[in-house]
């Protein structure tokens, strides 16, 4: 089953799905594994595994610091691939995606990176700094390997641009809730509702909404308007402040349990 069909099947049983995010190697791979375990056991559907990069341009200060700390501790792309292979086997109920920046893929070798990702069971890629027009080989090779290249809609995207971008994508569309970088609080207001309506009209792919989603109230507001809520910075802050054992109860609250 491809990623889009998997998401649609899960939506037959849930009003909205959850996708979470963590930076590989921060604060350690051991803690990453425990965080993933708690996410998986509390119903998270998709997890973004961010391969750290020195200039994560779409990310806010919390995730930037996590990237820098992971790199300073010597985290390598090969370490991330090995870790991903392990957690994909250990938690088959979760769809794992790699999130990173294109320089990482380019330096590793585009086709080798995509092929190895397929072999370990990764379902797709989130690459925020690669416009689809500049990534034609990446898109083609991803599709040939059965992996979903996830595209982005933003509040500044025109209707024409969204339809064009959606044609390149598979899996789902990552919908940016507001302008700016990750980690800032998103206001669940009429402007967001209008944007979500625009996003829905532009594609038949499932919609995942991220940037500033941090509470059960935020997730509940998205029900009926989006297919998946994306929680990133809030989880990293939680682990920093309270430790990985706090992640499970937080995920349960997001799901209204």
Q: Catalytic one among 48, 170, 218, 227?
A: 48
**Cβ atoms of 186 and 213 closer than 8 Å:** yes
| Cβ 136 vs Cβ 87: under 8 Å | no
Q: Exposed, middle or buried, 178 (CB in 10 Å: 0-12/13-18/19+)? A: middle
For residues 221 and 202, give the distance between their C-alpha atoms in angstroms, rounded to a whole number. 21
**What pairs with residue 231 in β-bridges?**
20
Verify whether residue 111 is a known catalytic residue: no
> Per the residue annotation, which of 45, 59, 170, 218 is the catalytic one?
59
Q: Environment class of residue 184 by beta-carbon count within 10 Å: exposed (0-12), middle (13-18) or buried (19+)?
A: middle
Q: Is 6 among the catalytic positions?
A: no
CA 198 to chain centre: 21
Contacts of 71 by beta carbon, 8 Å cutoff, 6+ apart: 25, 52, 53, 54
Determine the distance from the C-alpha atom of residue 220 to the mean position of all C-alpha atoms in its chain, rounded to a whole number: 19
- For residues 194 and 185, give the distance between their C-alpha atoms in angstroms, rounded to a whole number: 18
The residues that are catalytic are 48, 59
């Amino acid at each position: 089953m491809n990623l889009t069909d998997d998401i649609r099947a899960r939506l037959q049983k849930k009003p909205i799905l959850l996708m979470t995010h963590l930076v590989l190697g921060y604060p350690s791979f051991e803690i990453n594994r425990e965080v993933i375990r708690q996410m998986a056991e509390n119903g998270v559907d998709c997890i973004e595994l961010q391969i750290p990069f020195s200039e994560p341009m779409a990310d806010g200060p919390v995730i930037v610091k996590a990237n820098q700390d992971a790199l300073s501790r010597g985290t390598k792309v090969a370490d991330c691939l090995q870790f991903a292979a392990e957690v994909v086997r250990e938690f088959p109920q979760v769809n794992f995606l790699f999130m990173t920046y294109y320089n990482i893929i380019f330096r590793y070798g585009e086709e080798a990176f995509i092929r190895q990702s397929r072999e370990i069971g990764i379902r797709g890629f989130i690459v925020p700094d690669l416009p689809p027009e500049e990534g034609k080989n990446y898109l083609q090779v991803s599709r040939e390997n059965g992996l979903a290249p996830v595209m982005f809609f933003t509040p500044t995207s025109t209707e024409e641009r969204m339809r064009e971008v959606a044609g390149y994508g598979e899996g789902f569309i990552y919908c940016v809730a507001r302008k700016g970088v990750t980690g800032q609080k998103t206001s669940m207001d009429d402007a967001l509702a209008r944007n979500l309506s625009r996003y829905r009209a532009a594609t038949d792919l499932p919609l995942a909404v991220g940037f500033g989603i941090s509470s059960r109230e935020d997730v509940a507001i998205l029900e009926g308007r989006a297919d998946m809520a994306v929680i990133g910075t809030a989880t990293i802050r939680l682990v920093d402040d309270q430790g990985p054992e706090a992640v499970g109860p937080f995920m349960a609250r997001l799901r209204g349990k």
